[in-house]
Structure 1
Amino acid sequence: MRRLRNTDSRTEQESAILKAAAEEVALVGVGRLSMDVVARQAGVSRSTLYRRFPSRDALITELGRQTFDFAMARLQTVAIDDGPQAAAVAAFREGVRLLSGEPVMRRFLQLDGEFTATTGMVDEARLFLVSAATAMAKALRAAGATMADDELLAVAEVHIRLAASLVQVSTPVLDVTDDDAVADYARTHLAPMVR
């Protein structure tokens, strides 16, 4: 049994709780997240857990916010120096990497087939989609895209939705675990959408 973190600071306790929640979500999914397991794995009492996160939904919503913030930070690392089409390829490749390699992200975006969501989680997923599309559109604009703002945002959203779909449902058309194949696919089919 892990020691209780009664002497840790509020920040340390919250960090331990969120880490334990992420591990639990990655293992069993959002719908089966157990507050008792999270408390035990974080080394805090149930009362401490509920002081930090007053409900299961509050914990899931905060975990979702942190997960999506992490994803946005990764998407913002896309290089824009080689033009908008190259930036579109890089963003798509990074999005596929993120969606296929981050188990908590997969669970939040329902990419593992589980369809159990809290209101906060659905709101966070919607916010992620809008934020990711907006960030990608800004990156493409910074890379030199000249198309109208609404068209650029629509293209960015198509890229993100397609990445999620390809990661969720396997297809013989593209092996999402092959980074070069993902880049070639984006270069051939998606980059031409950006002008």
Structure 2
Amino acid sequence: MRRTSASRPEQETAILKAAAEEVALVGVGRLSMDVVARQAGVSRSTLYRRFPSRDALVTELARQTFDFAMARLQTVSVDAGPEEAAVAAFREGVRLLTGEPVMRRFLQLDGDFTATSGMFDEARLFLSSASTAMAKALRAAGATMPDKDLLAVAEVHIRLAASLVQVTTAVLDVNDDDAVTAYARSYLAPLVS
């Protein structure tokens, strides 16, 4: 049944929720506008009025997903100093990458990901934003290293978290918070000064 009485913001929210569910199930490359419209309870024409193309819908979903991730990374406690803030940020990043299915789908650098034009730029923007957010949190926690070096260390943390989540290894069980914490404390925290 179509929701004809829903306001524009309600329709957009329903469409983005349906798109997130579809991306989590089938990935970005197989996202179906027809399925999204049906799941959101809107007509196909309403979907295209709200999001003029598939790429526009995917781009907005990516923006919201990455904004959510940035908000979560900013919750890292900075009271314990820069090394502990680095451990907390890495742990939270791994939690995001293992526990948020839409985030996982967006950051998989395979055919599914690159099938949508502009998504490579979205991933680059996410990496830059996440690194900047982490560097700011580390600075607020008391890191004294030069900005350029702090940003580089933050980017290493973000890239490593994504790599460890995407390619499983016997070195670290990314689903074990204690193991992730110990790994970050041993190998990553010493990079921050």
Aligned residue type for 1:11: P
Q: Does 1:135 align with 2:136?
A: no
Q: 1:16 aligns with which of 7, 14, 17?
A: 14
Which string of whole-angstrom CA distances, capped at 9 and with x for unpartnered residues, describes residues 55-88 of structure 1?
0000000000000000000000000000000000
Q: Tell me the alpha carbon deviations over residues 12-46 of structure 1, each in whole angstroms, 9 at most, x when there is no partner.
A: 00000000000000000000000000000000000
1:147-195 superposed Cα distances (whole Å, 9 cap, x missing partner): 0000000000000000000000000000000000000000000000000
SS of 2:79's equivalent in the other structure is coil
**In structure 2, what is the Cα distance between the partners aligned to 1:4 and 1:45?**
7
**Structure 2 counterpart of 1:59, one-letter code:** L
Which of 4, 7, 19 is matched with 1:6 structurally?
4
The Cα of 1:5 is off from its aligned counterpart by 1.4
- The answer to whether the 8 Å contact 1:106/1:112 transfers is no
Structure 2, gaps ≥5 residues long: none
Cα distance in 1 between the residues matched to 2:79 and 2:129:
22
- 1:48 maps to a residue whose letter is T
CA contact (8 A) 1:72 1:132 kept: yes
Aligned to 2:176: 178
Q: CA RMSD in A?
A: 1.2
Counterpart for residue 96 of structure 1:
94
Match of 2:114 in 1: 116
Which whole-Å CA distance do the structure 2 matches of 1:92 and 1:187 have between them?
A: 10
Paired residues in the alignment total 193
Shift of 1:117: 3.5
Deviations 1:89-125 (A, max 9, x none): 0000000000010000001011688443323322221
SS in 1 for 2:171: coil
| CA–CA distance in structure 1, aligned partners of residues 13 and 128 of structure 2 | 27
What is the aligned partner in structure 2 of residue 152 from structure 1? 150
Q: Name the aligned partner's letter for residue 165 of structure 1.
A: S
Secondary structure of 1:119 counterpart: coil
Structure 2 length as normaliser, TM-score? 0.97
**Structure 1 unaligned spans of 5+:** none
Q: Which runs of 4+ in 1 moved over 4 A?
A: none
Q: Greater CA deviation, 140-149 or 113-122?
A: 113-122
Structure 1 partner of 2:62: 64
Question: Within 2, Cα distance between the matches of 1:5 and 1:122?
Answer: 34
